[in-house]
Amino acid sequence: MIEVLAARQQWCRPGEPILWCIRSHRNYLFDVEGLDEKGKPKKGWGTRAALGAGDAVGGVLGGVFDAVTGGDTDSDLKDSPPSVLFGPGPNCMAVAKLSRLPTGEDRACWVLTSHRLGLLTFHDAAEPEAGEAEESAGLLGGALKFGKGAMKFARDVRDIVASKPEYEPGVAVPVPQASAHLEIQRPAIADIGAHQRKLGRGYQTGKPWYLRVQFTDGSGIELSPSPKEKPLQRLVAMSHGKI
């Protein structure tokens, strides 16, 4: 995963190991009291909250998903949401920090280290000007550069993984440029564990497992859905430096 190399070179501090790197679509479903599944305020929630009659966090999404899908047939079943924000209210840490992140076509990853959790985006380095290209070719012995398009990037990574690199032996593989949009320090993370979420009807996996990152205020984010618990338990072990 070339993003790991970029994060290690450009974002990590000396002696800060990367524990895991998970790709993010930056599209979240919300399981937050007072918000609908898209993160918009529910009508009249302020009054209900004042009376202590809000929806119970953890059971919101099941009912919402059932209502949205309307009991789809097998042919219409959807994949599990790639990530879910949960929390006790609209002002929780998860909503404040995660829901306002910029969207775009850049590749994005959640990166956990021994010190912090970060959301990083990656894009290919700009093509050099003609003069710079000649100088670069002399310095690097003609090593190929990453192109601007995602297709070129995909081919480069495919060739590296297939042990058929287009790069000269002994020359470092160019990596994309990394930009950090969010950092959450480890003391603000109360727990990282595996969590099984009930999605309701309309999904291929009605009770997928997620990697749950919970913050100190009880809110958090769930990532990397899986129909089985074992892959998530491995990520949990990695989160605590056991693998």
Where along the chain do its domains lie?
22-40+61-67+76-109+185-242
Mean pLDDT of 4-10: 94
Mean pLDDT of 67-91: 72
pLDDT in tens, 10-31: 999 999 999 999 998 767 889 9
More confident residue, 213 or 65: 213
Q: Which amino acid would we find at residue 187?
A: P
CA distance 94 to 83: 12
Q: ∠ at Cα 193 (90, 40), nearest 5°?
A: 20
Beta strands in 147-188 (DSSP E): 177-185
| Contact between residue 146 and residue 153 where contact means Cβ atoms under 8 Å apart | yes
pLDDT in tens, 181-201: 999 999 999 999 999 998 877
Return the minimum-mean-pLDDT range out of 41-45, 133-137, 236-240: 133-137
More confident residue, 87 or 201: 87
C-beta neighbour count of 55 within 10 angstroms:
18
Q: ∠ at Cα 227 (221, 233), nearest 5°?
A: 60
CA distance 131 to 87: 53
Give the global pTM. 0.71
Residues 6 or more apart whose CB falls under 8 angstroms from that of 77 comprise 202, 203, 204
pLDDT at 47 exceeding the cut of 50: no
pLDDT at 134 exceeding the cut of 60: no
